Structure 1
Amino acid sequence: MPVIARVEHFLRRSAAAGAAKAAIVDGETRLGYAELDAAADRLAAGLAARGVKSGDRVVVLMDNIWEAPLSIFAVLRAGAVFCPVNPAASADMLAQIFGDCAPRVVLTQAKYARAATVAAAGLAAPPLIVAARAVTALPPGVAGFETLLKEEAPAKCAPDGAASDLAMIIYTSGSTGRPKGVMIAHAAMIAVSGSIAAYLDNGPDDVVLAVLPLSFTYGLYQLIVAARVGATLVLEKSFAFPHDVLARARAEGVTGLPLVPTMAAMILGLSELKPGALPALRYITNAAAALPPAHVAGLGRLFPGVRIYSMYGLTECARASFLPPGELERRPDSVGKAIPGTETAIVDEAGRPVPAGTVGELVVRGPHLMRGYWGDEEATARALRPAPTPGARQLHTGDLFRADADGFLYFVGRKDDIIKIRGEKVAPKRVETVLHACAGVREALVFGVPDPVLGHVLHAVVVRADPDLDDRAILRHCARNLPDLMVPRKIEFRQALPKTASGKVVRRLVLETGTDR
């Protein structure tokens, strides 16, 4: 077996261990590990024949289709750096990303070829656009994905590389500003995927549902971990039709269900879904945003005996913490402790550790940290600072946490989200947790509105599961469960909350959009 020094070695090893085992399921298409491995060799050869060399950036702009994981492994096998980008990105964001990473090639689908061409138009050296799944003739200058796949793979597809080489540049969602390119080395991806596989006890018998975009960290690591352990990944393009997705999960014998709070709310809203609907399911994970305790309890009732992992992660290190399922009943609102092989700490403004129960900024240490932000030394210096160990760096997350006496972590909120009311600091998440526990509330978000007397007051935006729920009932619930200064002064009802493609609510857009009672 090859030594695992680089991420693409996962695929080679799993192909050698179980050649016929299904690696990717995409609708009616099923790719075995040997088939995926051989196709990655051919596509890597096709990229190399078109000038891709070590260190070049290759954008992968695709839905969750089988060509996306193939592209990722082929880019790595060619010695290049893959840049996963969600096709739902706006035209402006796409142009910003292309301008930032200056890709040599863009691997995409025919339906996104025009958007990719427009985004690349202003570059000094426009990339080659390669499009899959064309049903008509491709535009001039756009190459066919299938053409690259016809290349004859040489015995050796790529130059020797090292674990310290850059593997990926993955862009932050841009929900709070301009997206930043997070640089992740092979060694970091190997470290964090090993940690995730260990605490989830992943193995070759697992069948993991991948409905979260592979272009975001949480979705991407479903692929990386599956390839590492030889598991099967079942690709779904969205969760817009949960009945269909869950039926597919049942048919495929899905054992792992990664989700985000939006998905949890949709699942819990399916009145006809009965306990035991996914008989092969053994674990559920959540990492994109905090899962409200009410959702945790609901999932526990719907999937009895299934382990639920509440996790915290961010693009800059993929995962930071997880809560062992055995602790879930005692600490339903905790995200646990540092993942295996890493460390976390909560520090004050001066970088000093704070006592248990005190709110401070979470810092993360370990081999899974990003290398920095592509082309942005200033932002890198703010995020990566000296750690207590000489020569080491730690990631300052910008997120506020507290820890209990046993060291378990509790997310409080983003530094920028904290609201001052009557001189006291209020974390919106605490109020949102209470709102989610109100019968008939599907989703909720709280923000501060300037007030001449109190400094700020709280307003809440709510998505109802029960159309008869009114603002008076919600306010009574809040008054019973919160101090007076934390009770929202206004409840606004929406049909939905604006989100990134990774499932995170975009607070800025909630404030910019209007009421739709």
Structure 2
Amino acid sequence: MNRNSTSDTRPPALVHALLDEATADTAPGAAAVGDGAGRWTYRELAAYSHAVDAWLEARGIGRGDRVLVQVPSTRELVALFYGTSRRGAVFVSLNPGMKDFHLRSVLANAEPGLVIAADAAAARITEFSPAPVVGMGEFWSGVAALHEKGARASAPVEVSAEDIAALVYTSGSTAAPKAVICPHGPMLFASHAIHLELGYRPDDVVFCRFPISWDYGLYKILLAALGRSELVLADGESDLVLLKRIRESGATVVPIVPSLATMILTLAEREPAPEGISRVRMFTNTGAALPRPTADALRAAFPGAEVIRQFGQTECKRISVLPPEFEDGKRESVGRPLPGTTVLVLGEDGAELPTGETGEIVVEGPHVMPGYWRAPELTARTFRENPVTGARRLHTGDYGHVDEDGFLYYEGRRDDVFKRKGVRMSTTEIEAATMDIPGVRAAAVLPPAGDRDLAVCVEGDVASHTVLRELARRLEPAKVPGLCRVVEDLPLTLHGKHERKQLALLFEGNDR
């Protein structure tokens, strides 16, 4: 399905130009970004980004150089993102939780010109980093001094929309982290297309629980600027004060993944809000399918709030969004393709499949990234050409189908779609059925592997035999798992997705 939009004015095609346009378009006191220590206006953020540009220039950083950063998500990191863009350099933000084993791999792959690390980690990283390492304290004291002088770079860099703005490292299916190449143009196109669907506003406060090292957090910087909204960064704050911070910040937009939604609901049950205290108007979900009971519970706990499903990959940022007006009519859909993009469902022979038939989800559009950094073979497998037009296509490895209205339905990853007892099925449909069982808060399904049968792991107040009995009432016999475990907390990755390797360890022994 192809969706085009030409009526809306396109934003600038450069990351820092977006900030400059937002700064010129907002009132002098309009809040841009805040964290637990304070907030900056758009004008303050722009001034700090210029100081970062000047600091990087003095360190010899230029166009195309990688600036690798491993620090918490704060206002200073947002200024560093914009300042790196002004320099024409490449922003490479890593999760502070990344261990040295993977960090060494990233350093070898990215070959940064500079590393900025948390003060406590700088000396340790210096021991194995081939690039200079600067502690965050030293970096920011230098930037603050330049900011006091109103400093700007002496030689601004000419940056194009094709230049790389960021490398986003993601683990995916490879042993070592791989980096998606994210140029300015595709990042800004994706942000604008998402903004057309979500409609961030100047009176919005966007509460971001996710690290900027994850694209879900990184793009909140761009979306907030497009909406002239305030971004509140809360990645490093305690889970116990999460709901309190949402309320105190006046949050109107709360991006979630299923595990975060469950946490918010648990806190809301313990701390019911006085009438009128919540300003949340929109929850946006991605990363994993949001179970319907969870979405319904969010609407009940936050009256008037919409829960918007999204589907995407870092390799193109976003594929589809389900507008709230279709929530009832398209209950199982992950939405319609972004404006200006094309989504196809292809069979094994590469031919487009008819409506309703399941195949690989393939994406075309200006938001499809060029590939993976210094990984030509992996790039060639994932990013291919349209055989007719030559346009770049993203082969997602996800499977699904489209309906007669062009809405997309996700059925699972290539590894999540399998046959058992001659019946084709996916982990997604079994997880959805499990979430329908009273007492289940979260669920994860593992396909059969080796001697292990189809297995389900649940988090909740329910017995394993009850889960299997209830699934037998909801699914055809071949789709009912042979194994079940009930745990206190499902193991999750840093991005809130199921940690499959840890889940598999729970089923060693193959007993129920």
Q: Note whether the superposition's TM-score is higher than 0.5.
A: yes
Distance 1:369 1:90, change over 3 A: same
AA aligned opposite 1:462? V
Letter in 1 for 2:234: E
Q: CA RMSD in A?
A: 2.3
Q: Work out whether residues 24 and 232 of structure 1, in 8 Å CA contact, stay in contact via their aligned partners in 2.
A: yes
Q: Give the secondary structure class of the aligned counterpart of 2:186.
A: helix
Which of the numbers 142, 155, 158 marks the counterpart of 1:147? 142
Residue 256 of structure 1 aligns with which residue?
Answer: 253
* Aligned 1:205-244 pairs, distance under 5 A: 205-238=203-236, 240-242=238-240, 244=241
Report the CA distance shift for 1:129/1:319 in structure 2 as closer, same or farther (over 3 A): same
2:242 is matched with which residue?
Answer: 245
Q: TM-score, normalised by structure 1?
A: 0.91
Contact between 2:199 and 2:227, CA under 8 Å: does it hold in 1? Answer: no
Closer, same or farther in 2 for the Cα pair 1:206/1:409, shift >3 Å? Answer: same
User: Matches of 1:512 and 1:473 in 2, distance apart?
Assistant: 22
| Other-structure match for 1:398 | 397
- Would the aligned equivalents of 1:457 and 1:489 in 2 still touch at CA under 8 Å? yes
Question: Counterpart of 1:167 in 2: which secondary structure?
Answer: strand
C-alpha change, 1:488 and 1:36, in structure 2 (3 Å) is same
Are positions 1:8 and 2:44 aligned together? no
CA distance in 1, matches of 2:38, 2:213: 20
Pick the aligned partner of 2:66 from 57, 61, 81: 57
Instruction: Indicate if the aligned counterparts of 1:257 and 1:284 stay in contact, CA closer than 8 A.
Output: yes
Tell me the CA shift for residue 195 of structure 1.
0.9
Q: What code does the residue aligned with 2:258 have?
A: P
- Matched residue pairs, number? 496
Using the TM superposition, name which of 499-508 and 280-289 deviates more: 499-508
Retained in 2: the 8 A contact 1:346–1:360?
A: yes
SS at match of 1:248: helix
Q: Once the two structures are superposed, what CA deviation does each residue of 1:381-407 show, in whole Å capped at 9, x if it has no partner?
A: 111111255231110000111222322
Partner of 1:140: none
Matching of residue 496 in structure 1 with residue 504 in structure 2: no
1:26 aligned partner = 35
Corresponding residue for residue 298 of structure 1: 297
Structure 2 stretches lacking a partner, 5+ long? 1-9
For 2:464, the equivalent position in structure 1 comes to 471
CA contact (8 A) 1:98 1:119 kept: no
Secondary structure of the corresponding residue to residue 42 of structure 1: helix
Asked if 1 retains the 8 angstrom alpha-carbon contact of 2:491 and 2:498, the reply is yes
Partner AA of 1:342 in structure 2: T
Distance verdict in 2 for CA 1:119–1:345, change over 3 Å: farther
**Are 2:473 and 1:480 aligned?**
yes
Partner residue, 1:129: 133
| One-letter amino acid of the counterpart of residue 413, structure 1 | G
Report the Cα distance in structure 2 between the residues aligned to 1:313 and 1:119, rounded to whole angstroms. 35
One-letter amino acid matched to 2:463: D
| SS of structure 1 residue aligned to 2:297 | helix
Q: What does residue 380 of structure 2 align with?
A: 381
Judged with a 3 Å threshold, the aligned counterparts in structure 2 of structure 1 residues 28 and 238 are, in CA distance, closer, same or farther, namely closer
Distance in 2 (alpha carbons) for counterparts of 1:441 and 1:3: 44
**Percent of aligned positions with the same letter in both sequences?**
36
- Looking at structure 2, the residues matched to 111 and 437 of structure 1 have their Cα atoms a distance apart, in angstroms, of 45
- How far apart in 1 are the matches of 2:442 and 2:173? 18
- Match of residue 459 from structure 1: 455
Cα displacement (A) at 1:357: 2.1
Once the two structures are overlaid, the 10-residue window that deviates more, 186-195 or 104-113, is 104-113
2:44 alignment partner in structure 1:
35
Counterpart amino acid of residue 232 in structure 1: E
* TM-score, L = length of structure 2: 0.91
Q: Alpha-carbon deviation of 1:118? A: 4.3
Q: Which residue does 1:136 correspond to in 2?
A: none
Distance (whole Å) between structure 2 residues aligned to residue 383 and residue 399 of structure 1: 12
8 Å contact kept, 1:217–1:315: yes
Query: For structure 1, which segment, 104-113 or 482-491, has the greater mean C-alpha deviation from structure 2 after superposition?
Result: 104-113
CA shift, 1:475, in A, is 1.5
Work out the CA distance in 2 between the residues paired with 1:504 and 1:157.
Answer: 43
Rounded Cα–Cα distance in structure 2 between residues aligned with 1:409 and 1:277: 36
**What is the one-letter code of the residue matched to 1:88?**
G
- 2: CA distance, partners of 1:49 / 1:399: 45
Deviates more, 1:179-188 or 1:223-232: 223-232
SS state of the match for residue 310, structure 1? Answer: strand
Shift of 1:176: 5.1
Helix, strand or coil for the counterpart of 2:454? strand
1:493/1:515 contact within 8 Å kept: no
Q: Secondary structure at the match of 2:309?
A: strand
Rounded to whole Å, the distance in 2 between the matches of 1:500 and 1:74 is 30
Indicate the residue corresponding to 2:53 in structure 1: 44
Counterpart of 1:137 in structure 2 is none
User: CA-to-partner distance for each residue in 1:221-268, whole Å, 9 max, x for gaps?
Assistant: 1111112332100110247525x2222222221110100000111122
Moved over 6 A (4+): 514-517
Q: Residue 239 and residue 288 in structure 1: after superposition, are their counterparts in 2 closer, same or farther (change >3 A)?
A: farther
Matched-pair contact (CA < 8 Å) for 1:78–1:157? no
Distance in structure 1 (CA, Å) of the matches to 2:218 and 2:489: 26
* Rounded Cα–Cα distance in structure 2 between residues aligned with 1:434 and 1:3: 42
How far did 1:369 drift? 1.0
- 1: CA distance between counterparts of 2:349 and 2:400? 16
Give the 3 Å change call, closer, same or farther, for CA 203–233 of structure 1 in structure 2: same
Q: Which SS does the other structure have where 2:502 is aligned?
A: helix
Query: CA separation in 2, counterparts of 1:254 and 1:494?
Result: 32
CA deviation profile, 1:481-504 (whole Å, cap 9, x unmatched): 001111111211222222222111
Are the counterparts in 2 of residues 7 and 190 from structure 1 also a CA contact under 8 Å? yes
Local SS of the residue matching 1:233: strand
Any stretches of 5+ residues in structure 1 without a counterpart?
121-125, 134-142
Return closer, same or farther for 1:403/1:118 CA change in 2, 3 Å cut-off: farther
Q: Secondary structure at the match of 2:434?
A: helix
CA distance in 1, matches of 2:277, 2:174: 37
Q: Which amino acid aligns with 2:22?
A: S
Q: Judging changes above 3 Å, is the alpha-carbon distance between structure 1 residues 356 and 277 closer, same or farther for their aligned structure 2 residues?
A: farther
2:264 aligned with 1:267: yes
Alignment of 1:43-442 (within 5 A): 43-120=52-129, 126-133=130-137, 143-151=138-146, 153-154=151-152, 158-174=156-172, 177-238=175-236, 240-242=238-240, 244-270=241-267, 271-274=269-272, 279-387=278-386, 390-442=389-441
Please give the alpha-carbon distance, in whole angstroms, between the structure 1 residues aligned to 2:341 and 2:166: 21
CA contact (8 A) 1:175 1:508 kept: no
AA in 2 matched with 1:340: P
Given the superposition, is the C-alpha separation of residues 217 and 229 from structure 1 closer, same or farther in structure 2, using an over 3 Å criterion? Answer: same
Q: Is the 8 A contact 2:72 2:236 kept in 1?
A: no
- The Cα shift of 1:317 comes to 0.8
C-alpha separation in 1, matches of 2:145 and 2:323: 46
Aligned CA distance change for structure 1 residues 359 and 277 (closer, same or farther; 3 Å): farther
Q: CA contact under 8 A between 1:87 and 1:112: conserved in structure 2?
A: no
